[in-house]
Structure 1
């Protein structure tokens, strides 16, 4: 009888050890820290990096004046676009090369890496004034801002960011949130900087001070990996070896039954 109690107790301990605690399953604990810590009130600003793709438009009072500063699909580098019409045209994006330059019509190579979109607009606008009789309206937007989320989330995948700003929680929301078997205390962020250096940052999303982290906002091409909990790993191990577990349980049941017969 004591043997049966020991087996039952062992099963209970195993079940409890595989259950994630409530504290490990919630986000943003100890949020009072956000009121006590002095924060720098500066909004996140997207910075251009090598291999980014930029959509750049130039507007003037007369379309003919700005036509030389567009490149459309089908145009060669030497064509200026005059007389081809810009209505319903598919404009070519500008790829930032490894040195941080774009090749802009008429203006040539322009260094843009490290600039915000507003700063890039100002640089192009200043260079264009030498060719125009007015101050043009220049708009620069990223067309390749994306982040990837994989691991223990509902919808792993790569997600495009249209407003050039996304937090790690927004990225997880796009991916359908973490599953119940995710490790919220050690989320991995893989990041590559403008020089090609890669590093993995470990983030604890159960603590509110994540909002103070420099990694709270994701950069373009960041990869977020959500690890599984030990319970998920054990569950997968059990599922993959179900026949072996069933055989073992049958054997244990048989042994227990024999012991009960002998003791009685």
Structure 2
């Protein structure tokens, strides 16, 4: 009786320890406390997206004299939405080419790659100075700022970001968060830089210092991949093997039944 009680106690203890380990692997940003608040505010600069090749931009030029800036605001005709109704003309989007440039009216080719929106606005404002009597208001916006999240998440998808700022935790939230089988300690970010080079960046979301990482905020066109853990991989292998075994067994039973029927005749 004592031996069985001992074995039962050891089994319960092992299950409890396994549960604690699993719970520890699931939690994000482990060990962070209130003492980190001041450090975070002082050491983390505000993120600002930078323009990259293949970005689509809209550039609006405004001034007190609309006619003076009209040549710099190119529009495309609206699409017909019915027999008699058409939509309003839309601003012409500018595609940043592989050299990081756009072809802007009157100004010609302008290099914008690597600049923030504010830096691009200031640059265009300076270039327009010789064409306008008063400084214009220049507004640059991203049209195709998007990120993709796939792997062990609830709703893998590609998401368009309206404010051009999203961190990795927000991206996972948009995808419905990781499933219980997703590896928090080995999330991959696939990123292409301005030269077209592909990089794979590993992120440990269990680490309390993740918010200080230079990759905490995502760039446009980033792909976030959540790898399945060993348990999910093993279950997948078992499930595949079981399916093959059941199929083979079914075929064997069918063949055996057919032979029995033939031999009876």
TM-score by length of 2: 0.77
Structure 1 unaligned blocks of 5 or more: 1-8, 76-86, 248-264
Note the 1:215-234 alignment, pairs <5 A: 215-234=215-234
How much is the aligned-residue C-alpha RMSD, in angstroms? 2.9
Q: Contact (CA 8 Å) 2:77, 2:90: kept in 1 or not?
A: no
| Larger relative helix fraction | 2
Aligned partner of 2:51 in structure 1 is: 48
- Residues paired across the two proteins, number: 225
The structure-2 alpha-carbon separation of the partners of 1:130 and 1:227, relative to structure 1 and needing over 3 Å to count, comes to same
Structure possessing the higher relative contact order (Cα contacts under 8 Å, 6 or more residues apart): 1
The structure-2 alpha-carbon separation of the partners of 1:243 and 1:110, relative to structure 1 and needing over 3 Å to count, comes to closer
TM-score by length of 1: 0.77
- CA deviation profile, 1:117-174 (whole Å, cap 9, x unmatched): 0111111111112111211111001111111111000111111111011000000011
- CA deviation profile, 1:84-115 (whole Å, cap 9, x unmatched): xxx93211111111111110011111111111
Aligned partner of 1:34 in structure 2 is: 36
Deviation at 1:183, TM superposition (A): 0.6
Aligned partner of 1:66 in structure 2 is: 69
The structure-2 alpha-carbon separation of the partners of 1:243 and 1:198, relative to structure 1 and needing over 3 Å to count, comes to closer
Deviation at 1:34, TM superposition (A): 3.4
Structure 2 unaligned blocks of 5 or more: 1-9, 79-86, 248-265
CA distance in 1, matches of 2:92, 2:236: 48
Aligned partner of 1:22 in structure 2 is: 23
Deviation at 1:37, TM superposition (A): 5.7
The structure-2 alpha-carbon separation of the partners of 1:54 and 1:19, relative to structure 1 and needing over 3 Å to count, comes to same
Which stretches of structure 1, 4 residues or more, deviate above 3 A after TM superposition?
A: 16-20, 32-39, 243-247
CA distance in 2, matches of 1:246, 1:191: 42
Aligned partner of 2:253 in structure 1 is: none
CA distance in 1, matches of 2:141, 2:32: 35
